[in-house]
Structure 1
Amino acid sequence: MREAGVAEGDERVGAFWRELGLPGLIDVHTHFMPERVMAKVRAYFDAAGPLLGREWPIAYRMEEDERLAVLRGFGVRAFTSMIYPHKPGMARWLNGWAAGFAARTPDCLRTATFFPEDDAAAYVAAELDGEVRVFKAHVQVGGYDPGDARLDAVWGAIADAGIPVVIHCGSGPMPGKHTGPGPIGRLLARHPGLRLVIAHLGMPEYTDFLDLAERHPGVHLDTTMAFTDFAEHDAPFPREALGRLRDVGDRVLFGSDFPHIPYGYAHALEALERLELGDDWLRGVCYGNGARLFGI
């Protein structure tokens, strides 16, 4: 019987990055949240909620200290605490928790978030005056238009500061009212200096988000769940676009969605390896690009 909290292939993670000659991994898409929020997220996955569209067994169901030990055991040198609000009045509280988490967790890139509400510009300004390293925006769960007027000053301030924003804006696993490349294209037209990290490679609108990355040098892509057997079943990446992904390889970042993934962590890495885009591409994706973007 497999040990609790251990998934198939975990023992292969260290060999993966060592064979590439890397000092470890940088994972730009991991979730650490207040425990009561984490419990609600787990319950949503367990119930295969409407934004998921299918059963979604969680591979790493464990307490916070155990999750940290697992990531560090994998050799992850830097990671995030992807937090996101689904209603007004929640973001400021989440940001306070994330600041405390980062203070006691030095290998976590301090993460903050926002929501279209009247005080968003004020609390984002406070984060920018602090030590925030990355923002998280979740257009699908939040159900908001990233072009909402209440966010205009937010986006402008973040662009001026050069802080990356990991944004779930693709229409996977289920489309939302404001998901897809259109709203992001309009946002970039207004704030071309934004450093957006498109979560999940923009799944399933992969080529549309590649278009945006090719047109905007500040647009990055994270690999979260892409190319895994689980994702390929419903949203296969078009193989004819792999050359384009290779060409923007200096702006592709590894993300895992740990701990809420329905397979072992190693599978996410091996899914990238089997693309056969080369060791240099893998080294950039799994460490070098993140180290450069976040000054690690």
Structure 2
Amino acid sequence: MTGTGTGAETDAGAEAEEVRRFWRRLGLPGIVDVHTHFMPERVMRKVWDYFDGVGPMTGGLEWPITYRTEEVERLALIREFGVRAFTAMLYPHKPGMAQWLNGWAVDFAARTPDCLHTSTLFPEPGVETYVREALDAGARVFKAHVQVGAYDPASELLDPAWGLLSEAGTPIVIHCGSGPAPGKHTGPEPIARVLARHPRLRLVVAHMGMPEYEDFLDLAGRYGEVRLDTTMAFTDFAERLAPFPRRALPRLADLGDRVLLGTDFPNIPYPYIRQLQALEGLGFGEDWLRAVCHDNGARLFGL
């Protein structure tokens, strides 16, 4: 079983088989999940404590952690699902924290070869230096969390770092939408200012930009390197919180080459399979599902 009684428990073996049936039926070699969380254990426990408290980041909803297990068990399960590449989305909430997290990430990537080496950043003196160091150490993806960090992504302090990442072609998964609760600098406008300066920045907008879905679809239409990840979107949980507008579904179907599977594993209040079922339920067809659940991520990261 997964879970501890405070999370939503599932039968891990049965669910893993269901996930494998999903991607095998599509003729895929597995799944690429660009939005999963692995962090230093004491940081992860604090994140779980926050969700247990039903704070602003949960949108006031109860948020039981489905996969509240030790790191080794979480790794075993995501591999049993058939996720052939995943990330260690980690993020600072204050200055001086990002470089420490990046140091942990180097070690985690070295002992976890199927994890795409993930780094992070914060608007602070020295950010350009440690972003360059992370790239030199092999970072393949960055995570930015505008809501938790409570910073302006268009800050001049970040401008040299965005320039480095743009030049390197390194993707950045960025939580910049105003869901599940707005922050001072969330929403499309700050990101539009970043992209105006760095139009080739490979931003992957987390959660489809929830709830400003259409605004972020507009940015993806304007900038060819902007992508969207599916994290939590279209699930029953997210639809209660911030439903995706039905009128925008044709635009999403047409953008299938720049939509990437993300799930938020392990910090989700439902079983992993539900994200896949929610995407299938959109009715966009198997080609779209193959692209989103594997091929787009495989191409972006050269797998």
Q: TM-score, normalised by structure 1?
A: 0.98
For 2:274 and 2:177, the matched residues in 1 are separated by 22
Q: Check whether the contact 1:81–1:110 (CA below 8 A) recurs between aligned residues.
A: yes
2:52 to 41, 46, 53: 46
For 2:2 and 2:216, the matched residues in 1 are separated by 38
Q: Check whether the contact 1:170–1:180 (CA below 8 A) recurs between aligned residues.
A: yes
Q: State the partner residue of 1:107.
A: 114
For 1:188 and 1:99, the matched residues in 2 are separated by 28
Q: CA deviation at 1:240?
A: 1.3
Task: Determine if the alignment matches structure 1 residue 125 to structure 2 residue 141.
Answer: no
Q: CA deviation at 1:4?
A: 3.5
Q: Check whether the contact 2:94–2:149 (CA below 8 A) recurs between aligned residues.
A: yes
**2:249 corresponds to which letter in structure 1?**
L
Q: CA deviation at 1:239?
A: 1.2
Q: Check whether the contact 2:170–2:202 (CA below 8 A) recurs between aligned residues.
A: yes
Task: Determine if the alignment matches structure 1 residue 283 to structure 2 residue 290.
Answer: yes
**2:21 corresponds to which letter in structure 1?**
A
For 1:93 and 1:67, the matched residues in 2 are separated by 23
Q: Check whether the contact 1:7–1:265 (CA below 8 A) recurs between aligned residues.
A: no
Task: Determine if the alignment matches structure 1 residue 137 to structure 2 residue 135.
Answer: no
For 1:247 and 1:99, the matched residues in 2 are separated by 37
Report SS of the residue matched to 1:173.
Answer: coil
Report SS of the residue matched to 2:204.
Answer: strand
Could you give the per-residue CA deviations for residues 211-254 of structure 1, whole angstroms, max 9, x where no partner exists?
00011000000000000000001211011111100111100000
* RMSD (Å), alpha carbons: 0.9
Could you give the per-residue CA deviations for residues 48-75 of structure 1, whole angstroms, max 9, x where no partner exists?
1222222101111100000000100000
For 2:44 and 2:53, the matched residues in 1 are separated by 14
Report SS of the residue matched to 2:184.
Answer: coil
Task: Determine if the alignment matches structure 1 residue 220 to structure 2 residue 227.
Answer: yes
**2:231 corresponds to which letter in structure 1?**
T
Report SS of the residue matched to 1:241.
Answer: helix
Q: Which runs of at least 4 in structure 1 moved beyond 4 Å after TM superposition?
A: none
Could you give the per-residue CA deviations for residues 93-142 of structure 1, whole angstroms, max 9, x where no partner exists?
00000110000000000000000000101100111222110000000000
Task: Determine if the alignment matches structure 1 residue 36 to structure 2 residue 42.
Answer: yes
For 1:176 and 1:217, the matched residues in 2 are separated by 27
Q: Check whether the contact 1:201–1:222 (CA below 8 A) recurs between aligned residues.
A: yes
**1:237 corresponds to which letter in structure 2?**
F
**2:288 corresponds to which letter in structure 1?**
W
For 1:64 and 1:54, the matched residues in 2 are separated by 26
Q: State the partner residue of 1:27.
A: 33
For 1:26 and 1:74, the matched residues in 2 are separated by 11
Report SS of the residue matched to 2:100.
Answer: helix
Question: For structure 2, which runs of at least 5 residues remain unmatched after alignment?
Answer: 4-8
Q: State the partner residue of 1:96.
A: 103
Report SS of the residue matched to 2:57.
Answer: coil
For 1:195 and 1:86, the matched residues in 2 are separated by 23
Task: Determine if the alignment matches structure 1 residue 85 to structure 2 residue 120.
Answer: no
Q: TM-score, normalised by structure 2?
A: 0.96
* Residue identity (%): 68
User: How many residue pairs align between the two structures?
Assistant: 294
**1:245 corresponds to which letter in structure 2?**
L
For 2:33 and 2:2, the matched residues in 1 are separated by 23
2:216 to 209, 217, 226: 209
Q: State the partner residue of 1:4.
A: 2
Q: Check whether the contact 2:32–2:86 (CA below 8 A) recurs between aligned residues.
A: yes
Q: State the partner residue of 1:232.
A: 239
Q: State the partner residue of 2:156.
A: 149
